[in-house]
Amino acid sequence: MVQLQPYSTGRMPRRDFLKMFGVTAAGASIGSTGVLKAGEPPEVSRPAKPPAVIRGAFLYPPTAKLDKAGYYSWPGSSFDAEGRQEEYMRQLFGIERDLGISLNMDTTPLDEPDSVTRFIRDVRRTNPDGLLLIPFKKSHWEHVVRIVDETQIPTVAFATMGILLIPYVNELRDKPGVYIIVSQNNLEAVADGLNMFRTARRMRESLIMNLSGSREEEIRVPALGTRVRTIPLQRFYDAYRDMETSTAIREHANSYMWNAQKIVEPSEQDILEAAKASFVLQYMVESEGADALMMDCLPGLQRPHKHVPPCMGYMDLRDAGIPAGCQADLESTLTLMLFQELFDKPGFQNNPSVETEKNHYFCAHCTSASRMYGVNSEPEPYELMSHAEAGWGCVPRVLMEPGQEVTIGQYWTAGSNNGKPAMVVYTGELVGCPPIPPTGGCRTNAEVTINEVDDVCDMQNHGHLNLIYGNYAQELRRFCQLYDMEVVV
């Protein structure tokens, strides 16, 4: 079986890449040397990144101290704080392992103001990516508030039910930089919060390769800190022209045909060239040590043609967990990255439209992930069609599952009135994928109900929106609060 090849932080010379794929003479026809087995995900390794560092503490007085006082207040005399800390620590170690983070929890609980002062001083010195604060006493909530105010570090504060009253919760409930959890022993919610710290660190350490324009340059995205390295489009043109057609490329083309439900317009040569373009994109991602790709992909499709539509390659990359943004759309690429990191879901970047009579959102584009349930999931069925607007080549029409809950969003680098980052967040249910023809627009499409607006024409966008399977509105809103982003609907 031929698979997407793993890449690492090192650079791979082109000759080594071509050797790895067993290059043969250019222009070879699609042979019968094998096909990809349906249902097996491509394998790819992400560039190594430093782990997110989270500092944490429990806050409560020793039970012996309360026994001596003879009054316990909330959570009451039957609450075993020391036993609960031990139980939570076992679960937190598992979360640390599963997320690949570094979680440094103090073993001695914070009690007196002096211990809180020392904790704050140490947090300022070490500047972790986030804080986890777990109070086991109502009166110690004031220490939590103090730590949040004086450190200004993104904080997850977790209290099991029966510890805090509503006025205490409301002190921090809407405060930027804080995610409050009040729930019964809900370490799954805590894991979600720690994953948000991990995601923010990953975004800050990640590199987007931008195939666009004629100049090489590198910038950092404000707030998220993601690097964007622009590589001239001519390099893709040259790599596509020079890459010879290997057995591996022919087998990958066979896999497109074998796994497709239907082939509508593309010829075998179109399909072969689509597989070749996918390998070129893989090579360029590898050579730059990139975590994501975006490309100004439309100019090369016009006459004189510089390359075939790269849409099958985008599907391959997204299915392997590598976000790939069409039309060099930075905000969509960042959104796909956030969705991938937060929820492990590849996405569908799309042009927004509407069905006015049913009040449905209608969206379409000529590429999508097929593994919409996750990188290790079974792919959704797809057909092979020509590129809708260019009228040639080979692109996927992914047939998404009706009845599936979805989240639709877009990260805006400066979307609010005061210029701070924002996130568009919508949810709904996927009604179906209208047939082509009679439907127009791009090849992959979806018709979706929307929960957050009465009239779908009022949905906000900056040209594209992005769709993933599952309802993640609550998690996205909490991520936005934790990192001081406005939520837009």
pLDDT tens digits for 310-353? Answer: 999 999 999 999 999 999 999 999 999 999 999 999 999 999 99
Say which residues have a Cβ less than 8 Å from residue 262's Cβ, sequence separation at least 6: 383, 384
Tokens of residue 360, six digits: 């449905």
Question: What is the spatial distance between Cα 439 and Cα 314, in angstroms, rounded to a whole number?
Answer: 23
**Domains and their CATH numbers in the chain:** 14-47+206-488 (no CATH), 53-201 (3.40.50.9100)
Tokens 């931008």 sit at which residue?
210
pLDDT in tens, 437-485: 999 999 999 999 999 999 999 999 888 999 999 999 999 999 999 999 9
pLDDT in tens, 360-400: 999 999 999 999 999 999 999 999 999 999 999 999 999 99
CA distance between the termini of the chain: 44
**Bridge partner list, 351:** 364
Beta strands in 97-216 (DSSP E): 102-105, 130-135, 155-159, 178-182, 207-211
Cα distances (angstroms) measured from residue 70 to each of 64, 66, 166? 10, 6, 25
Question: What is the spatial distance between Cα 55 and Cα 57, in angstroms, rounded to a whole number?
Answer: 7
Q: For residue 151, how many C-alpha atoms fall within 13 Å in the half-sphere facing its CB?
A: 31
Average pLDDT of 43-57? Answer: 83
Give yes or no for residue 10 having a pLDDT over 90: no
pLDDT of residue 14: 30
Question: What is the spatial distance between Cα 186 and Cα 19, in angstroms, rounded to a whole number?
Answer: 51
pLDDT of residue 179: 98
Of residues 57, 53, 55, 56, the one with CA closest to residue 99: 53
Sheet holding 130-135, edge to edge: 102-105, 53-59, 130-135, 155-159, 178-182
Question: What is the spatial distance between Cα 452 and Cα 488, in angstroms, rounded to a whole number?
Answer: 10
Average pLDDT of 234-253? Answer: 93
Question: What is the spatial distance between Cα 317 and Cα 338, in angstroms, rounded to a whole number?
Answer: 15
Classify strands 348-355 and 465-469 as parallel, antiparallel or unpaired: antiparallel
Question: What is the spatial distance between Cα 342 and Cα 184, in angstroms, rounded to a whole number?
Answer: 23
Compare 152 and 414 and report the one with higher pLDDT.
152
Of residues 25, 117, 136, the one with CA closest to residue 74: 136
Tokens of residue 326, six digits: 């069409």
pTM listed for this prediction: 0.90
Q: Give 46's pLDDT tier (boundaries 50, 70, 90).
A: low
C-alpha 184, offset from chain centre: 28
Give me the count of residues in the chain. Answer: 489
Average pLDDT of 43-68? Answer: 88
**CA angle (389 as vertex; 39, 307 as ends), nearest 5:** 70
- Secondary structure letter of residue 9 according to DSSP: S
- Secondary structure letter of residue 330 according to DSSP: H
Give yes or no for residue 216 having a pLDDT over 50: yes
Question: What is the spatial distance between Cα 188 and Cα 181, in angstroms, rounded to a whole number?
Answer: 10
What are the respective helix, strand and coil percentages of the chain, to the nearest 5? Answer: 35, 20, 45
Compare 260 and 304 and report the one with higher pLDDT.
260
159-184 b/e (C-beta count within 10 Å ≥ 16 → b) = bbeebbeeebeebbeebebbbbbbee
Mean pLDDT, the chain, integer: 90
Contact (CB, 8 A) for 178 and 172: yes
Question: What is the spatial distance between Cα 3 and Cα 52, in angstroms, rounded to a whole number?
Answer: 30
Question: What is the spatial distance between Cα 152 and Cα 484, in angstroms, rounded to a whole number?
Answer: 12
Of residues 429, 414, 412, the one with CA closest to residue 470: 429
Tokens of residue 195, six digits: 């994953």
pLDDT in tens, 267-320: 999 999 999 999 999 999 998 999 999 999 888 788 888 889 999 999 999 999
pLDDT of residue 252: 95
Q: Give 201's pLDDT tier (boundaries 50, 70, 90).
A: very high
Tokens 């391959």 sit at which residue?
316
Tokens 């222009």 sit at which residue?
27
